[in-house]
Structure 1
Amino acid sequence: MKSRLLVSFGLVLILFAPGLGFAQSKGDAKAGKLKYDANCVGCHGATGKGDGAAAAALNPKPQDHTNGKAMKALSDKYLFDIIKDGGASQKKSPIMPGSGKKFSDQEVWDIVAYIRSLAK
């Protein structure tokens, strides 16, 4: 009887836990958009296509965040690290600055969530 009750309780917990907030994503895309708009559009562009005002002068060109195929190949951890530590940390462009202490880890995850929302 006890084992049956425990199994039932476990199933209820599994079914309803996501609605209780236990299965939320790491970042908030809406908050990330605000940081992105203030810090990333100069190179990556307002729509994330890598066509910001500074992009023409950059080599290599900034990542196109709307390219679904390319973005799927990049893990969330990779995006977090390149935003936090800069391009050189991931053997990419040293021109890409890291946020260092400018953003909290949560703010970086918010930017990652926003970037993910751009990919088609």
Structure 2
Amino acid sequence: MGLDVIGILSLLVAILSVGATMGGLALRGISNLKNDLTKRTDKLSDQIESVQKELRDELKGEIVGLRDELKAEIVGLRDRIEAVRSETVETRLAMSDRVARLEGSVFGMPLPDTGTDPA
């Protein structure tokens, strides 16, 4: 009976030592996987930040380009508006002159600012 107890205890000790060894290996494996996953996650985060920065820079460049194009378009429109305004003023002056000439010829009146005397 003494040998049976010693045999059973030896068997239990062997099982426990194997189990402890396997558990230790499993914990080490889990730790290694965790570290590997952390490294990969950090690397992926860095890549995401890099892509975000690139996209931000590209968008800034595009926005600056569009803003400059819009400024140029606005300047062009202002120039065109000024040209139309000038043309309108010239047309008004020409029409006023024609009306004055017509009035002068119909009513026998001198043109304004000509310095001529109707008499």
TM over 0.5: no
More helix by share: 2
Structure scoring higher RCO (CA < 8 A, sep ≥ 6) equals 1
TM-score, normalised by the number of residues in structure 2: 0.30
